[in-house]
Amino acid sequence: MYREAGKTKFQINLRQHLRDQNLSGNFIHLICEIAEASKYVVNSIRTGDLGVAGTSNLYGEEQVPLDVLSDRIMRKRLMHSGVVGTIASEKTDEIVTISSNPHGLFSVVYDSLDGSPLVDLNLAVGTIVGIYQGNDLLQPGRNMVGAMYILYGPRVSLVYSAGKGVFEFTMNQLMEFDLSRDNIQMSPTADIYAPGGLRAKYSPEHDQVINYLEERGAKLRYSGGFVADINHVLLKGKGIFMYPALRDAPQGKLRLIFESNPMAFLVEQAGGAATDGLRPILDIVPESLDQRSPIYIGCKDDVEKAAEFLNAG
């Protein structure tokens, strides 16, 4: 536990913390660049869109949807960061090579505003980021060197891991991120569960998982926004999120590279687990950028129990 004499964790900002974690200068710069980009996303969420996409503002400029705007903000920041060689966005599904010489550079996959339609309903949404060394994006999530998400809710928070624990930062009145939780750890079993997908399309095995959790007294908590739901599961430390294989969608809905891998990296770092029912999410070798995968993520014992039910069929 890091704490300098006389200082509380609330007085440690993101850059200071990253330096104290002895992370590489390039990695620190990358995380701080993404944190900077989030300030523009916050402003866009707070002031932009509101269903006016496609119209023009008072300067005659075309109003673009929030998810397009947030994607532009992230892409620009990453391309000019000087430490990124390759990027891929959930919004565009293409690999963009920034530098042909990947030496010392990172590859970044991101979902600039996951759950963006929820903004119009004033619900929490988020940015999800996965970081690899080098320029190969189609490798197992286990090879990531870092992952993070930024949650735009009542507060703006940033949760990251560089493989040495999971830490939460909260945006202060100067729009800087201060440490608010360090070394986040999860319990083995859940008292909340977040079930994605239509129940009518669940397999009998998945129904058993839900019944098992319900009989154990776990309460249903689901917002429809992956980042907010994972934040609930992770910070409460007693939850499980599930987006299963469905009768008409055997691969479920969530995107392996852009959504599931970064969250699985964070949850495993906090002592939790993530599976597609057959193997750890982080061990899946992606075949394509838009690959989807069922996901059970959260408290370790319950994720393992879910896999037991799914393989018992």
294 sits near ligand AFP (criterion: CB under 6 A): no
Q: Point out which span in 148-156, 157-165, 221-229, 261-269 binds ligand AFP (CB under 6 A).
A: 221-229
Site membership for ligand AFP, residue 49 (CB under 6 A): no
Residue type, position 24, single letter: S
The least CB distance from residue 200 to ligand AFP, in Å, is 12
Binding residues for ligand AFP restricted to 228-267, rule: CB under 6 A: 253-254
Residue selected from 115, 141, 244, 286 as contacting ligand AFP according to rule CB under 6 A: 115
**C-alpha 30: how far from chain center:** 16
Of 7-15, 35-43, 110-118, 174-182, the window that binds ligand AFP (rule: CB under 6 A) is 110-118
Query: Minimum distance between the CB of residue 65 and ligand AFP, rounded to whole angstroms?
Result: 12
> Which residue number places its CB atom closest to ligand AFP?
226
The answer to whether 226 contacts ligand AFP (rule: CB under 6 A) is yes
Please report how close the Cβ of residue 57 comes to ligand AFP at its closest, in angstroms: 24
CA torsion sign for 282, 313, 208, 291 is positive
Shortest spacing between CB 117 and ligand AFP, in angstroms: 5
Indicate whether 72 belongs to the interface with ligand AFP (CB under 6 A).
no
Interacting positions 170-209 with ligand AFP (CB under 6 A): 196-197
CB atoms under 10 Å from CB of 280, counted, come to 17
CB of 105 within 8 A of CB of 250?
no
Contact between 280 and ligand AFP (CB under 6 A)? no
Which residue stretch of 136-144, 183-191, 202-210, 220-228 sits at the interface with ligand AFP (rule: CB under 6 A)? 220-228
Q: Which residues contact 128 (CB under 8 A, 6 or more apart)?
A: 90, 110, 111, 114, 148, 149, 226, 227, 258, 259, 262, 263
Cα–Cα distances in angstroms (integers) from residue 204 to residues 218, 245, 307, 312, in the given order: 19, 11, 13, 11
If binding is defined by CB under 6 A, does position 224 make contact with ligand AFP? Answer: yes
Per-residue x/- mask for ligand AFP, residues 123 to 162, rule CB under 6 A?
Answer: ----------------------------------------
205 alpha-carbon distance from chain centroid: 27
Which of residues 66 and 307 has its CB atom nearest to ligand AFP in the complex?
A: 66
Q: Which residues bind ligand AFP (CB under 6 A)?
A: 114-117, 196-197, 224-226, 253-254
